[in-house]
Amino acid sequence: MEYPSWGFYPVVKNQDTYILPNRITSIPSLTTSLLPRGLGRSYGDSCLNENGTLIITSQLNHFISFDESSGVLCCESGITFDEILKFAIPRGWFLPVTPGTKFVTVGGAIANDVHGKNHHCAGNFGHHVLSFELLRSNGERLRCSRIDNSDFFFATIGGLGLTGLITWAEFKLTKIQSSFISQEQIQFDSLADFLTLSEQSEKDFEFTVSWVDCVNTAKDVRGIFIRGNYCKPSESAVLKVHNTDTFKTVPLFFPEWILNSFSIRAFNELYYRKNLSHHKSNIVHYEPFFYPLDSIYHWNKIYGKRGFLQYQFVIPYKNDQGAALSEIFSLLQRSQMGSFLAVLKTFGSIPSEGMLSFPKEGITLALDFPNHGESLYEVLEQCDQIVRSVNGAVYPAKDARMRKESFAEFYPRLNEFEKYIDPNFSSSLWRRVK
């Protein structure tokens, strides 16, 4: 069985696999380097281990305990967010923080310290983790929390799976009274408007995110600002779980010519115009609100066999009022590199706890590009330079190409982190950036 990354780039060879049968078994002694692997939803090479072994956590899929009164769930690391939602929602609980797909494991969510649309009020997933067990390749089992083995705790949160294997974790769910979201969508046509909307919305809305059109040739960015809250019982008191059985799947790779600068431009134009009114309010189920792409199970194959690259960065914007961001937008427009989907959001001031966690206060933009090869890598390298110049960072879970100098600058606690790496663990990303 092959284990590519979600973006199908880079393509690596000689990955052995070992399925860990349960959480009490030790990691076998192998001659190659090891890397834990959950669902492989990381886009680039942080979930790849060329010439090494992937430790598959699919059998670590058991719940351990759940406290109905506090919402504290203890479960094995291979359990998926999909499964947690199916369990928690009928009981009136939701994930405290979720990325844009529910097909991630608990272990992966911790290793990448994932964030969601509520970063400005909830921080990262790691902020909600109370404790976990870290299994090291020498058989040692460390119970880590903010009190016990706290150094390993903060190295492992956002630690890209390099500090050992998380066997189980304990974290707190959020109480909900409805599984529906009261949502508003507002068109904006400049970065300044986006920033004003963000600032206003973050006080009253738990979730905010924006879709932006970055292929439009007009001088400023335009997009749709989306904000929402869980419905109050008066609006909806229904606790309805998503239905996993109705997936449409993209079974084959699409031909590469389907996504070209014309079709991307057309898609963006249509998406912007679908909001016929300037301001629209409605009630939606959490599934399309949080996971719009999950309903097309293998959407990553739309980009064809050459794969695609994601690029997500964060930059502080308060000092320059978004000047660096505008520079990146105009660079992308000049280079004709169209992004099919561009997602913009502001991160709040809650400081990340992990030594290598990505989120920090500022504005974050996520883009994806068909893999055009060298010309794309050059443009992204130029973007990296702008991000570096304003003390931003690029998200390793979505990276396939940044240079080691950039990585060192984005993650200044790198040397401190290195002390906690398991001597037998490594990844393709790690060997590239270190």
Partner 1 sequence: MKKILVIGATSAIAQEVAKLYAANSEELILWGRNSEMLHIISQDLLVRGGKKISSISHDLNDLAIHESKINEIWNTHSKIDIVLLAHGVLGNPRKAEVNQAEMLHLLNSNFVSHVSLLTFISQKMVQQGFGTIAVISSVAGDRGKQSNYVYGSAKAGMTAYTDGLRNRLFPTGVHVLNLKLGPVDTPMTKDHKKTALFGKAPSVAKGIVSAIEKKKNTVYLPMIWRYIMIIINSIPEAVFKRLKI
Report the interface residues with partner 1, using CB under 8 A.
Answer: 1, 19, 21-24, 59, 62-66, 87, 245, 251
User: To the nearest whole angstrom, how small is the minimum distance from the Cβ of residue 105 to partner 1?
Assistant: 15
Cβ density class 285-315: b for 16+ within 10 Å, e for less: bbbebbbeebbeeebbbbbbeebbbbbbbbb
CB nearer partner 1, residue 113 or residue 170: 170
Coil, strand, or helix at residue 59? coil
* Residue number, 197 or 239, with CB nearest to partner 1: 239
In the complex, minimum distance from the CB of residue 26 to partner 1, in angstroms, rounded to a whole number = 13
Closest separation in Å from C-beta 206 to partner 1: 27
In the complex, what is the shortest distance from the CB of residue 245 to partner 1, in angstroms, rounded to a whole number?
8
C-beta separation of 121 from 206 below 8 A: yes
Q: Which CB atom, from 19 or from 258, has the smaller least distance to partner 1?
A: 19
| 424 Cβ contact partners less than 8 Å away, ≥ 6 residues apart | 27, 30, 33, 34, 137
Instruction: Please say which residue, 64 or 192, places its beta carbon nearer to partner 1.
Output: 64
Considering beta carbons, is residue 271 or 297 the nearer one to partner 1? Answer: 297
Helices 374-389 and 323-334 sit at what angle, rounded to 10 degrees? Answer: 170
Q: How far is CA 2 from CA 33, 252, 359, in A?
A: 18, 15, 31
What DSSP letter does each residue of 175-211 carry, written as one string? E-S-SEEEEEEEEE-SHHHHHHHHHHHHHH-SEEEEE
Q: How far is CA 400 from CA 6, 182, 233, 308, 431, in A?
A: 11, 36, 44, 10, 12
CB of 432 to partner 1, least distance (A): 29
Token pair 């058991």 in the structure block, residue: 62
The residue among 65 and 385 lying less far from partner 1, judged by its C-beta, is 65
Please answer whether residues 333 and 215 qualify as being in contact, where contact means their C-beta atoms are separated by less than 8 angstroms.
yes
Q: How far is CA 227 from CA 49, 123, 203, 327, 432, in A?
A: 38, 17, 11, 26, 38
Helices (H), 157-315: 191-204, 261-274, 286-290
Mapped onto helix, strand or coil, the DSSP state of residue 139 is coil
Q: In terms of CB distance, is 71 or 223 closer to partner 1?
A: 71
Q: Which is nearer to partner 1, 244 or 382 (CB)?
A: 244
Q: Shortest gap between Cβ of 262 and partner 1 (angstroms)?
A: 33
What does the alpha-carbon distance between residue 359 and residue 353 come to, in Å, rounded to a whole number? 10
Decide whether 75 or 122 has the Cβ nearer to partner 1: 75
CB of 67 to partner 1, least distance (A): 10
Minimum CB separation of residue 141 from partner 1 in Å reads: 15
